[in-house]
Amino acid sequence: MDTKIVFITGANTGIGYETVKALIQSKKQTYHIFMGSRELPKAYAARDRLEGLLRPSSSTVEVIQIDVTNDASIKAAVKYVEDKFGWINVLINNAGAAFDGTFDQDGPNLRAIFNNTYDVNVTGAQITTYHFAPLLINSPNARLLFFSSNNANLSAAFKNFIPTWAPRPEAGWPKDGLVTYQGYKCSKAALNMCMLIWYQLLKDNGVKTFAISPGLLATNLGGHTPEKMRKMGAEDAALGGNLVRSVVEGERDSDVGRVITRDGVQDW
């Protein structure tokens, strides 16, 4: 089997880390995986935890620094991969952040919350993709993935925008204790549009573009612990890694250009 080159941002934790694990354990394909991380010590520690899986695998993992909010960092990562291989087969825009708290607490800080969230989740993914796009085009049958969310479903938000476990909004002002995740939800809805634009831009180059909506999984997103996320109904983060592997390995090619879930596609 030819080795496929995969680059994953934010890969030292959460669903990014579970994606690395899932690819290492693939029975179909051998991979060289760039484990992109903003902080190299955390990435090396994550790489060390994979040793037991890597030992029997033909796949390899290489740590690389990338901060998707820093253009110089993005360009340096792209140049390194270009100089080493000249192409990538798969780019996975996984790095993400959430800065929301409760609605009343967020009010004085909404500009910073929205700007910081968009910088990572939207602008960071957009610029990373822009610089990696030539390396994707250099690869036959390349794939480009963006991490969306079920929170970006506009149809569902029209019916109810509050998590099932959170208090309902009441009449009056202020809306004390209300949980809306405005910055995060809006950023992921915007990211879906970025995905669609790249789908149109690159489809004639043979690049298959998807968004991934893995559902509520137990990660550290938004400063929560996996244990707290499980109490909110989150499932094992490994389910997200397995979903990404199925897309990378062509099992969901009939859903190209859509937001992929574990059991189908998500409404816009």
Edge-to-edge strands, sheet with 259-261: 60-65, 30-37, 3-8, 90-93, 143-147, 208-212, 259-261, 264-265
* 203 counts as catalytic: no
Radius of gyration of the chain from its Cα atoms, rounded to whole angstroms: 18
Classify residue 74 by burial, with Cβ atoms within 10 Å: 0-12, 13-18, 19+: buried
Round to whole Å and give the CA distance between 27 and 29. Answer: 6
Helix %, strand %, coil % for the chain, to 5? 50, 15, 35
Question: 167-183 b/e with 16+ CB inside 10 Å = b?
Answer: eeeeeeeebeebbbbbb
- Measured between alpha carbons, how far is 120 from 266 in angstroms, rounded to an integer? 23
30 pairs with which residues across the strands? 3
188 is known as an active-site residue: yes
The single residue of 139, 148, 149, 213 carrying the catalytic annotation is: 149
Of 188, 199, 208, 213, which one is the catalytic site residue?
A: 188
Distance CA(261)–CA(263), nearest Å, equals 5
d(CA 3, CA 158): 44
Under a CB-based contact definition with an 8 Å cutoff, are residues 240 and 214 in contact?
yes
Catalogue the active-site residues. 149, 184, 188
